[in-house]
Structure 1
Amino acid sequence: MTTGFKPVDFRHDDALTRVSWDAFECLIADHYRDLGYEVLHTGTGAGTNRTDGGIDLKLLREQEIIVIQCKHWNCWKVPHNDVHQLIGVMHTAGATSAIVITSGEFTNAAIEAAAKFRHIRLIDGKAVRAMLGPIAEPRMPHATIDGMPSWQNQARRPRPAKSNRTPLVAAAGAIATMAVALSMLYSYYIREIHEAQLAALRVTVARAAMQVVQARTTPASLPALASQKPMSSLNGHPAILHDVPVNKADIAAWEKQNAESMRILEKTTPPLP
């Protein structure tokens, strides 16, 4: 924001307002060239200069040397400092007169300062529009900060767009994602544990049912036969010896009881989720 400047009383809204700073200088140069002046474009609007030294245009015709300072300002009034600066530049350049041209307005102090020097002329926005006449609308309207050449605006790189997501929203999204992942992981492990528990339960019930069937179907002669068999041992202790039926009738009874036990097991064991 430009500080210490006075806003204009009336802000124009037309094609001249929307042209760029360098285009404004070129319009002024073309106007005086049509009047028969040799125009030296020394300002930044020429495209090759980065500083103007207080002079944008120099007009030459016979014995005349006129220096011009262009101010494409539409928001702020041109102050008296610019008038005094051009007076000093005029003497340094050996000019016979000087002109300050603005597309906006001058402050009262600037007007009073110019009135004290008969070789200084001020041309404000109304006068320059009458001088140039109608101009074409620019293809791309140029929005400039008053007092800033267009080449400076072009040199600026656009800032990256900011994300609409605030840090709080981003953190909430990350927490929600983590919660979903943990929930899925928890469900997976719970299912695995539940299946392992059911499998162990089936084995336990099957062993118990088999022991019941063996107790009911083993004939009285089997213990004697089992006692005659050598007892296997594990670490010095008797190992478990599983007796099995020794004839067809016992085998049939054993299979029947075993099938019944398995049906009971299937009815009492809850299905996996």
Structure 2
Amino acid sequence: MTTGFKPVDHRYDDALSRVSWDAFERLVAEHYRSLGYEVVHVGTGGGTHRTDGGIDLKLLRGQETVVVQCKHWNCWKVPHNDVHQLIGVMHTAGATGAIVITSGEFTRAAIEAAAKFRHIRLIDGKTVRAMLGPVEEPAMPHTTLDDLPSWIREARRPARSRASRGPLVAAAGAIITMTAVLAMLYSYYIGEIHRARVSLLQATVSRTAQAARPILAPAMPPVLTSSKPMSSFNGRPAIVHDTPMNKADIAAWEKKNAESMRILEKTTPSLP
């Protein structure tokens, strides 16, 4: 969105249009030093200030104090708002004059506003090029402020009041808060997913181990052994005697065994 900004009638394409905004401020400062002014670089381009307070340069010579605002704009015309703001700054700073310098153009409203105050001067792109003369081509072209999207331009502009900063600060705070919440949720769910995967892996390993466990044959019943000698009958093992048997016992046992065999032969049908 470019609401409130008007495009220039002529867009410059030269070395001055390609220098950075802070280099543009330094070129202007060097020009006024060459005219005998003591130049105080109070803007952010000086490298030590976070905001410019509406002033980039302060020119001092004798009883003369001039405040300067530099606008390195090549695409959009500088509106009347900047002129009125500098007039207010001039009175606050107790300056005897004010200058607005742009590498581009001013709107008609800005020119008319400046015409009402004899202590303010506007210098447009054509005039500033005549002032500075040839400018060395920068090693790497820089994007000027007005080449950027409007929301970046507004964020880059120095805050004039606490109210004007409010929406930007609130938006930045909301973004930071949302980012923190999303990071916490991400960490929580990643942890839950990790714990679930570990539990599933442990259960799978347990089932696999149980399935791979060898099936043991049932324990064999204990074999009863005896240190007593085993008697035999007709070459076959007989019972284990826990007590010694005499000849009479053996004869009686053999007799009973023979009788049992006869009974078994009578009661068992013969096979064909």
Structure 1 stretches of 4+ moved >2 Å: 147-150
The Cα of 1:147 is off from its aligned counterpart by 8.4
What is the match of residue 127 of structure 2? Answer: 127
1:2 Cα deviation from its structure 2 partner: 3.9
Larger-gyration structure (1/2) = 2
Q: For residue 108 of structure 2, what is the aligned residue in structure 1? A: 108
**Are the structure 2 counterparts of residues 147 and 40 from structure 1 closer, same or farther at C-alpha, using a change threshold of 3 Å?**
farther
Partner AA of 2:78 in structure 1: V
Q: Does the 8 Å contact 2:73/2:144 carry over to 1?
A: no
Report 1:14-53 matches (<5 A): 14-53=14-53
The equivalent residue for 1:142 is: 142
Three-state SS of the structure 2 residue aligned to 1:27 is helix
User: Contact 2:72–2:145 (CA<8 Å) still a contact in 1?
Assistant: no
Structure 1: stretches of 5+ with no match in the other structure = 154-273
Assess if the C-alpha contact under 8 Å between 1:102 and 1:124 holds in 2.
yes
Aligned to 1:68: 68
d(CA) in 2 for partners of 1:105 and 1:56? Answer: 18
CA distance in 1, matches of 2:20, 2:103: 11
Paired residue type of 1:48: T
1:182 aligns with none
Matched to 1:117, the amino acid is F
For normalisation by structure 2, the TM-score amounts to 0.54
**8 Å CA contact 1:72, 1:147 repeated in 2:** no
The superposition leaves residues 134-178 of structure 1 with CA deviations (integer Å, 9 ceiling, x where unpaired) of 01000111013328899x99xxxxxxxxxxxxxxxxxxxxxxxxx
Whole-angstrom CA distance in 2 between matches of 1:144 and 1:81: 20
User: In structure 1, what is the Cα distance between the partners aligned to 2:53 and 2:62?
Assistant: 24
The letter of the residue matching 2:34 is D
Residues 74 and 144, structure 2, Cα contact 8 Å, conserved in 1: no
Provide the rounded CA distance (Å) in 1 between the counterparts of 2:55 and 2:73: 16
Q: Is this contact kept in 2: 1:6–1:107, CA < 8 A? A: yes
Number of residue equivalences: 152
Structure-2 separation of matches of 1:73 and 1:2: 14
Q: Secondary structure at the match of 1:23?
A: helix
Could you say which residue in structure 2 is the equivalent of 1:89? 89
Residues 29 and 39, structure 1, Cα contact 8 Å, conserved in 2? yes
- Return 141-150 or 93-102, whichever deviates more: 141-150
- Tell me the secondary structure at the aligned position of residue 121 of structure 2: strand
SS at match of 1:30: helix
Kindly indicate whether the alpha-carbon contact (under 8 Å) linking 1:99 and 1:121 is maintained by their aligned counterparts in 2. yes
Match of 1:5 in 2: 5
* Counterpart Cα distance in 2 of 1:93 and 1:147: 31
Question: How does 1:1-273 map onto structure 2 within 5 Å?
Answer: 1-146=1-146
SS at match of 1:49: coil
Residue 71 of structure 1 contacts residue 147 of structure 1 at CA under 8 Å; is this kept in 2?
Answer: no
| 1:85-127 Cα distance to aligned partner (Å, 9 max, x none) | 0000000000000000000000000000000000000000000
1:249-269 deviation digits (Å, cap 9, x = unpaired): xxxxxxxxxxxxxxxxxxxxx
Distance 1:2 1:43, change over 3 A: farther
8 Å CA contact 2:78–2:105 kept in 1: the answer is yes
TM-score, length of structure 1 as denominator length = 0.53
Identity %: 81
Deviations 1:179-208 (A, max 9, x none): xxxxxxxxxxxxxxxxxxxxxxxxxxxxxx
Residues 104 and 125 of structure 2 are in contact (CA less than 8 Å); yes or no, is this contact kept in structure 1? yes
Partners of 1:100 and 1:73 in 2: CA distance: 12
Shift of 1:47: 1.1
